[in-house]
Structure 1
Amino acid sequence: MGVTIKDIAKEANVSYSTVSKALNNSPLVKEVTKQKILRVAKEMGYEPNLAAKQLVRKKTEVIGLIWPTIERIVLATLVTNISKAFEATKYSMILSVDSAETSLDTFKKFQVDGMIVFAESHQMVPEDTIPLVAYGVSGKRKVAYPIIDANHEQAMEQAVQYLADLGHHHIAYVGHLDTEDALQREKAEGYQKAIKKRNLKQQSIDTSGLDWYDGYLAVEEIIQLPHQPTAIIGGSYDISGGIVRSLHEKGVSIPNDMSVVSYDNIPQMETMEIPMTCIGVPVDLLAEEIVSTIIHHIESEGSDEFIKKLTPSLTERKSAGPAPQS
């Protein structure tokens, strides 16, 4: 039989209620007494009865994360950072890569306090009474839950401005264009707006996917263009990796002949074939914002209806440089 609160109270020579308050970090217990009780509990191998605590608090301190896939490195990195961000809180996280409907049923069984969803489209956000926060594109619609928006349009504005300042007048964008994924669409639209604003030459290449090989194949289309770009903006980490490999095989020097800037600001950009200049909200900051927002949404018990647009940042490395002289 496991150690109980009454056992700890007897060993520490304090009352049962004092032990209970100490284990729940109550300010009503003197610090010296609290530390004594915690030490005794640890020495006796006390394991709290989580089920009983949940009944009292009516909280599980568990948050569910619905994610479409962990196959892509960027998403896996973000999931990892979200999990790490939870470590500094009293909450735990459970991850489901099932459909939104199946995940929701699972989370109900676990009685999660809240959910984080990846809102690639409106349909992916479940309508339910469980507090939720979505990572996605805010758009102009009204929502009954907080949305963390990584501001893809501003990221493309900054990427185009950076390359223009380096003297590039023909900048191509390589990404997934024909898709229901609102995140990918906003990147492409952001690029087009930034190019039009500066009267630069534009060329969008649809990869029809977000994988490494999609970026690799896109270079074949780029080299057949009548007017060759001097810079490419890749729509994702994986796409940009394929672009770099294909350019290298074709003898195109980066950045002397072609500059490449990638979306996705993750640490892995540093260890690519060529250290990649990248744009986007740093993944650790994005994760911290998502975690802090869902916790606030749960604990405030209010109907937060807001859009939080984050600020992208550009990290310079070795894949971009001045435009080559004609």
Structure 2
Amino acid sequence: MEEVTIRTIAQRANVSHTTVSRALNDSPLVKAATKKKIRQLADELGYVPNLNAKGLVEQRSFLIGVFFSDLDTGTSPSFLVDVIKRARDFLPKGYSLSLDSVESLSASGNVSRHQFDGAIVVSQSKKDDPFIATLIKRRLPIVVLNRKIDRDDVSNFSTNDYLGAKKILEYAVRMGHRKFGLIGGAESFVSAGDRQRGFTDVIRENGAETRPEWQRQGNYLPESGYQAMRDILSASETPTCIFATNDDMATGAVRACQDLGYKVPADISIIGYDDMNYSKYLVPRLTTVRKPTDNIVQEGVSALTELLSDPAMAPVKKIVEPTLIVRDSVKDLRK
């Protein structure tokens, strides 16, 4: 079968190949009716754009780099999958994603304008700052998601994790809880520090109680939540509510309770953070904080898309508020 090209469509539509190219790229120079006619004809003929050829003409790779902090250890697999899925949903048609860790790219230095058209840095740690500075120095269009950064020359979309932690701990206090345990996240991650500060401030502000034996350090992965919970339950006295600082660790904590014969929330309450897709299907359904990942990724991809078209676009900075999600994993002690 003969390959269908832009010239094939142009001959059938009786227009120039330039008009076809503009129509397929949604140029405002082509009338809406002409665009519709050309697109329908392209679909009927089974036209597939040659992105490699297009890239050579426009000096584009049609590849977006997505870089995560501590991909092998600290980044939750659930969060990773969620970000990738949303980025694929929101990127313009024809673009592909390349996934890697900030650490490996920082070590190799192998990031350039020839390799990627743009980059999405999903940053968790201040250790990422030199990598972000390198991308900016190489004039690669980038957006930074997840963590609020100090510099003002790059678009940055983040969430207020301190506020989210305060919201969920204050809810537990309203439910009558006064004795709290904590399973902390990856120590180098800014989110872990922000969530722990929220925990500490609510305890202090409400005259609640926590003890060293009720606090354990995790790394945002389910296994660490499981082991931390087993350690906390081995104390001579246990708290009434545990704040696991992400849903993956909360899942591990719930399992540890079940394995040791504790019922959640009848014997001990557990709260999480992130509101991952599976949280509403756990038994019990998890009370947590909805991190607005969809919103952050959508706004970030939109800003990057505009930046690809207009490199002079002014940076956009936005902090999105998280939302308390009340389900079934917190016992009401007021009764």
Q: Is the 8 A contact 2:303 2:316 kept in 1?
A: no
Q: Is the 8 A contact 2:225 2:252 kept in 1?
A: yes
CA distance in 1, matches of 2:284, 2:6: 58
Q: Secondary structure at the match of 1:201?
A: coil
**Alpha-carbon shift at residue 171 of structure 1 (Å):** 1.8
Choose from 175, 178, 201 the match for 1:193.
201
Relative to structure 1, is the Cα distance of residues 214 and 5 closer, same or farther in structure 2, using a 3 angstrom cutoff?
A: closer
Equivalent AA in structure 1 for residue 243 of structure 2: I
The equivalent residue for 1:293 is 303
The equivalent residue for 1:116 is 120
**Identical amino acids, percent of aligned pairs:** 26
CA distance in 1, matches of 2:248, 2:124: 18
Choose from 211, 224, 230 the match for 2:240.
230
Equivalent AA in structure 2 for residue 121 of structure 1: S
| Aligned: 1:10 with 2:11 | yes
| Aligned: 1:76 with 2:81 | yes
Q: Secondary structure at the match of 1:117?
A: strand
Q: Secondary structure at the match of 1:65?
A: strand
The equivalent residue for 1:134 is 144
Q: Is the 8 A contact 1:145 1:303 kept in 2?
A: no
Q: Is the 8 A contact 1:63 1:91 kept in 2?
A: no
Q: Is the 8 A contact 1:118 1:124 kept in 2?
A: no
The equivalent residue for 2:266 is 256
Q: Is the 8 A contact 2:78 2:276 kept in 1?
A: no
What is the 5 A alignment of 1:143-222?
A: 143-176=152-185, 179-203=187-211, 205-222=215-232
Choose from 83, 90, 95 the match for 1:92.
95
The equivalent residue for 2:23 is 22
Q: Point out where structure 1 has 5 or more consecutive residues left out of the alignment.
A: none
**Alpha-carbon shift at residue 90 of structure 1 (Å):** 3.9
Q: Secondary structure at the match of 2:272?
A: strand
| 1:279-319 CA distance string (max 9 Å, x none) | 13243333323322333444442364554211111112111
Relative to structure 1, is the Cα distance of residues 254 and 275 closer, same or farther in structure 2, using a 3 angstrom cutoff?
A: same
CA distance in 1, matches of 2:12, 2:94: 30
Alignment TM-score, normalising by the size of structure 2: 0.83
The equivalent residue for 2:322 is 312
| 1:86-145 CA distance string (max 9 Å, x none) | 2xx3462412224133786256443x2221112222332422221212224326x33432
Q: Secondary structure at the match of 1:76?
A: helix
CA distance in 2, matches of 1:39, 1:137: 43
Equivalent AA in structure 1 for residue 217 of structure 2: T
The equivalent residue for 1:34 is 35
Residue range with higher mean Cα deviation, 263-272 or 15-24: 15-24
CA distance in 2, matches of 1:194, 1:97: 37
**Alpha-carbon shift at residue 7 of structure 1 (Å):** 2.7
Q: Secondary structure at the match of 2:28?
A: coil
Relative to structure 1, is the Cα distance of residues 283 and 220 closer, same or farther in structure 2, using a 3 angstrom cutoff?
A: same
Q: Point out where structure 2 has 5 or more consecutive residues left out of the alignment.
A: none
**Alpha-carbon shift at residue 276 of structure 1 (Å):** 0.7
CA distance in 2, matches of 1:83, 1:201: 44
